[in-house]
């Protein structure tokens, strides 16, 4: 179902690597809703991934930029305004990477050089994108900027490692810059805290399959899919949410407000019984 929610709006979408990417799904939905936009990723990701294919599908120009490099960002933003014929109405920051996670470093034995990279790529790049937009006066009044986050910013998920710290910083940047840009230009800045979703970045997290299953059982509405996340981003880019800013918006089927669910308890009890007694005939009365 389409609603023309982004008719006439211009955007920049970071982070579509392949069909699984959340940014890919946002781009497809934004196109359906009448937006025009540019796509961007690192030069390597564009070479190795499918960003160009998405560009063809969406009739969108692909402009390489390393989101940690301010010069690249300024070039991207300037070119995007040229290509799209005016200032920008929405920006999706869908970027995350931890070299510590990639190298299998435990949180209690982090490489601090790699931690700098995690924070720069996954959080400070959000600041760089917004600051570059502001310096170039690239955003229209009531523009909407979204970064994607995860509940490990608030609660401990051991396998999420230093990405948890990056997400806490990302959400803080949305608040700090949201105030400044809101006062000056009515620009909205928010983060969406998404359920675990099977993507290249998501799959890199230790114990990801177990986490996906656990949070599915814990959430009253189940995990939110990548397509559902795209729907939420579209609403946040639209004029229907003009007074929402400086928020971390949970899009997780209710997970973030749960303590324990009966479905998760059931599975836990079954595991306990099977572990301790193969003959166990315990009745799982919590179904
Ligand atoms: N998948 C999940 O479970 C999940 C859950 C909550 C939040 N998120 C967040 O969603 C966002 C998108 O991730 P995804 O799950 O779609 O995975 P993905 O791997 O498809 O996307 C991550 C993107 O970041 C890009 N990237 C990495 N370094 C970059 C740099 N220096 N400059 C520009 N781009 C760079 C990658 O090329 C890739 O396109 C991330 O912020 C991620 O943390 C994901």
* Spatial separation of the C-alpha atoms in residues 44 and 69, rounded to whole Å: 14
Residue 287 in domain: no
Provide residues with CB under 6 Å of ligand 1. Answer: 14-15, 17, 20-23, 41-42, 45, 66-68, 94-97, 121, 148-150, 194, 196-197, 199-202
pLDDT tens per residue, the chain (287 residues)? 899 999 999 999 999 999 999 999 999 999 999 999 999 999 999 999 999 999 999 999 999 999 999 999 999 999 999 999 999 999 999 999 999 999 999 999 999 999 999 999 999 999 999 999 999 999 999 999 999 999 999 999 988 999 999 999 999 999 999 999 999 999 999 999 999 999 998 887 778 899 999 999 999 999 999 999 999 999 999 999 999 999 999 999 999 999 998 888 888 888 765 555 555 555 543 33
Closest to 164 measured CA to CA, from 108, 98, 120 = 98
What are the φ and ψ backbone dihedral angles of 212, each rounded to 5 degrees? -60, -45
CA of 202 to the centre of ligand 1 (A): 8
Residue 229 in domain: yes
CA of 96 to the centre of ligand 1 (A): 4
CA of 285 to the centre of ligand 1 (A): 41
Contacts of residue 82, Cβ cutoff 8 Å, sequence gap at least 6: none
Residue 285 in domain: no
Closest to 41 measured CA to CA, from 84, 85, 92, 99 = 92
Domain that holds residue 189: 10-209+218-253
CA of 147 to the centre of ligand 1 (A): 10
Residue 275 in domain: no
* Spatial separation of the C-alpha atoms in residues 232 and 197, rounded to whole Å: 15
Tokens 């991934």 — which residue?
Answer: 49
CA of 91 to the centre of ligand 1 (A): 14
Atom number, ligand 1, closest to the C-alpha of residue 200: 19
* Spatial separation of the C-alpha atoms in residues 82 and 138, rounded to whole Å: 11
Residue 264 in domain: no
In the sheet that 188-194 helps form, which strands lie side by side, from edge to edge? 36-40, 10-14, 88-93, 139-149, 188-194, 248-251
Tokens 């389409």 — which residue?
Answer: 2
How buried is 112 (Cβ within 10 angstroms: 0-12 exposed, 13-18 middle, 19+ buried)? exposed
**3-class secondary structure, 224:** coil
What CATH number does residue 144 fall under?
Answer: 3.40.50.720
Residue 260 in domain: no
Closest to 6 measured CA to CA, from 21, 39, 28 = 28
Residue 23 in domain: yes
* pLDDT at residue number 265: 87
Domain count for the chain: 1
Residue 72 in domain: yes
CB 17 within 8 A of CB 45: yes
Of 29, 72, 202, the residue with max ligand 1 atoms within 8 A of its CB, to mutate for a pocket test, comes to: 202
Please report how many Cα atoms fall inside a 13 Å half-sphere around the Cα of residue 151, on the Cβ side: 19
Whole-model pTM: value is: 0.95
């Amino acid at each position: 179902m389409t609603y023309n929610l982004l008719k006439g709006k211009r955007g920049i979408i970071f982070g579509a690597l392949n069909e699984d990417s959340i940014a890919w799904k946002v781009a497809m939905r934004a196109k359906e809703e009448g937006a025009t936009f540019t796509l961007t990723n690192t030069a390597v990701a564009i070479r190795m991934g499918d960003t160009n294919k998405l560009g063809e599908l969406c009739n969108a120009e692909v402009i390489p930029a390393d989101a940690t490099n301010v010069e690249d960002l300024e070039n991207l933003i300037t070119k995007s305004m040229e290509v799209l014929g005016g200032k920008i109405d929405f920006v999706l920051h869908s970027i995350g990477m931890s070299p510590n996670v990639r190298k299998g470093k435990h949180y209690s034995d982090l490489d601090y050089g790699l931690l700098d990279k995690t924070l720069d790529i996954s959080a400070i790049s959000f600041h760089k994108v917004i600051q570059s937009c502001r310096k170039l006066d690239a955003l229209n009044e009531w523009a909407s900027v979204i970064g994607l986050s995860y509940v490990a910013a608030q609660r401990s998920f051991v396998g999420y490692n230093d990405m948890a710290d990056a997400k806490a910083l990302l959400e803080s940047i949305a608040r700090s810059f949201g105030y400044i840009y809101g006062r000056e230009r009515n620009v909205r800045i928010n983060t969406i805290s998404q359920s675990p979703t099977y993507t290249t970045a998501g799959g890199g997290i230790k114990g990801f399959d177990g986490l996906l299953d656990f949070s599915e059982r814990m959430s009253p509405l189940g995990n939110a899919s990548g397509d559902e996340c795209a729907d939420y981003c579209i609403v946040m880019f639209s004029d229907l949410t003009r007074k929402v800013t400086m928020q971390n918006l949970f899009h997780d089927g209710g997970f973030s407000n749960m303590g324990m669910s009966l479905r998760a308890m059931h599975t836990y009890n079954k595991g306990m019984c099977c572990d301790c007694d193969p003959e166990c005939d315990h009745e799982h009365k919590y179904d």
